[in-house]
Amino acid sequence: MTMQARSTVREIVTRSYRQYTPTNGRAPEGPEYGVDGWLFTLPGETLNGLRFPQRTYAAYQVTRNAELVWMVREVGGERRQVGSHSATRKGVLALAVGVVAQEREETAAAAETAAPATRDQGTCAHGAARRMAAGGGERTQVAATLDERLARMRAGQLSALPTVAEIRMAYPLAGGGATLRLMTAEGSTAERHMIPLTERGAAGRENDPAGIYLDTITDGANTEGLKIAAEWHLMRLGFNCARGAAWAPYSGSASSEAQWKEWAPMLPEGHRWPHTVRVAITATAEHLAYIDRAYGPAPELPDLPAGVSAHRSGPRSWQICYANRRFWQLSCRPRMGGDVWTLYADPARTKSLARAASPGELLATIPARDAEAQARAAARKGY
């Protein structure tokens, strides 16, 4: 049974802070820290056999987008930012504590899950310690388990790809409509793979392939119009009919067929058969490439403009810094038809500034955004 890690950091109620100033000798080194602020330490702990050392953090105020906000950074470590962008010191410390605890719990849980079930807890702990020592410590262990998890998720996605498409009519056929279902070989269907074929979607949404939803074409029956509509949806989802395959009538259970036989005399001519058709489908090359991007290594950033630096803050996100004084978040979302890159104004990625098809387009705007922010700040000071 996999143990659920629970960081003792979450249980901390009171913390000791040491105020620092440029003259009292306690200020962390480096110009990226504020003029004054507070130092606080989060204790070390062992979770699922992994040892997490004690860490010291600095909380300080900086001007960001013409307003003072609190930020937190690890002192003497490589982590660039934790739990930042809060209006109060208390708030930013709470964010930092939560982030650190969550990172520890996820790392410990991943290590426990990755260990073979036949090994006991003590062996797992010693094995994890040996892997950390051999691989360069905690960061190498996190990277290894993340790669393993992504590989398992990719294999799961590939094994769960639908292999059959089905158009099923509802009773009565004249007004009951039709639904497209994409199913795996075992017959399971995800919610996103159940699509009404005889209903229009919300206004303005891309859901109407050249008007083939019109009643004069579908007429509630399993006509060629419905098959065209179904194949349009298959294309959008990244599937094609298998080579040489064609839609063919499908008979369900004996009880279902008996029910349809009773309904047939009450239905209009041309609506009695077939009530269900199926065809074999395969994923397109674009769909498979999307899965590779979604569960593979993170993409590489292009050459950065002068004065801009980037540090990984997640599987597909980076903290962007300009001149060591202003920060943004850059993220990549894999998507069918082209990935989406987004630039955010805050670490929590709640305030989107711009989107583009490539990171270079967004990174090129960083110097201008910094200059604009400085100009706004200067205007406020002058006022």
- Looking at the predicted structure, is the pLDDT value of residue 211 above 70? no
Question: Cis omega (within 30 of 0) on the bond before 22?
Answer: no
Q: What is the pLDDT of residue 223?
A: 65
The strands making up 17-20's β-sheet, listed across from edge to edge, are 17-20, 37-42, 55-64, 67-74
Q: What is the pLDDT of residue 201?
A: 46
Give alpha helix (H) positions in the chain.
89-114, 121-135, 138-159, 215-218, 224-237, 254-263, 285-294, 359-363, 366-382
Mean pLDDT rounded to a whole number for the chain: 75
Give 199's pLDDT tier (boundaries 50, 70, 90). low
Give 124's pLDDT tier (boundaries 50, 70, 90). very low
Q: Is 332 strand, coil or helix?
A: strand
Residue pair 312/330 in contact by the 8 Å Cβ criterion: no
Q: What are 40-65's pLDDT values in tens digits?
A: 888 888 887 788 888 888 888 777 66
Q: Is the pTM of this model over 0.75?
A: no
Q: What is the mean pLDDT of residues 72-92?
A: 76
> Higher-confidence residue: 125 or 229?
229
CA 15 to chain centre: 33
Q: Quick one: DSSP state of residue 86?
A: B
Q: What is the pLDDT of residue 176?
A: 56
Q: What is the pLDDT of residue 284?
A: 93
- Looking at the predicted structure, is the pLDDT value of residue 219 above 80? no
Record the tokens describing residue 199, joined without a space: 């209903």
Numbers of helices and strands, H then E, in the chain: 9, 17
Give alpha helix (H) positions in 177-253.
215-218, 224-237
- Looking at the predicted structure, is the pLDDT value of residue 360 above 80? yes
Q: What are 64-73's pLDDT values in tens digits?
A: 666 677 888 8
Record the tokens describing residue 26, joined without a space: 């306690």
Half-sphere exposure of 249 (CA within 13 A, CB side): 6
Q: What is the mean pLDDT of residues 191-220?
A: 54
Single-letter amino acid, residue 266: M
Residue pair 42/9 in contact by the 8 Å Cβ criterion: yes
Q: Which residues have CB under 8 Å from 21's CB, separation 6+? A: 27, 35, 36
Question: Cis omega (within 30 of 0) on the bond before 297?
Answer: no
Q: How many C-beta atoms lie closer than 10 Å to residue 23's C-beta?
A: 8
Q: Is 262 strand, coil or helix?
A: helix
Between 68-77, 126-135, 192-201, the lowest mean confidence (pLDDT) is in: 126-135
CA angle 10, 352, 367 (to 5 degrees): 105
Q: What is the per-residue burial (b if ≥16 Cβ within 10 Å, else e) of 43-72?
A: eebebbbbebeebebbbbebebeeeebbbb
- Looking at the predicted structure, is the pLDDT value of residue 4 above 50? yes
Residue pair 269/238 in contact by the 8 Å Cβ criterion: no
Q: Quick one: DSSP state of residue 303?
A: P
Q: Which residues have CB under 8 Å from 314's CB, separation 6+? A: 331
Q: What is the mean pLDDT of residues 113-125?
A: 45
- Looking at the predicted structure, is the pLDDT value of residue 330 above 90? yes
Between 70-84, 258-272, 286-300, the lowest mean confidence (pLDDT) is in: 258-272
Q: What is the per-residue burial (b if ≥16 Cβ within 10 Å, else e) of 185-204?
A: eeeeeeeebebbbbeeeeee
Q: What are 236-260's pLDDT values in tens digits?
A: 889 999 999 999 988 878 887 887 7
Q: Which residues have CB under 8 Å from 2's CB, separation 6+? A: 109, 112, 113
Conformation bin of residue 221: beta by default, left when phi > 0, alpha when psi is -120 to 50: beta
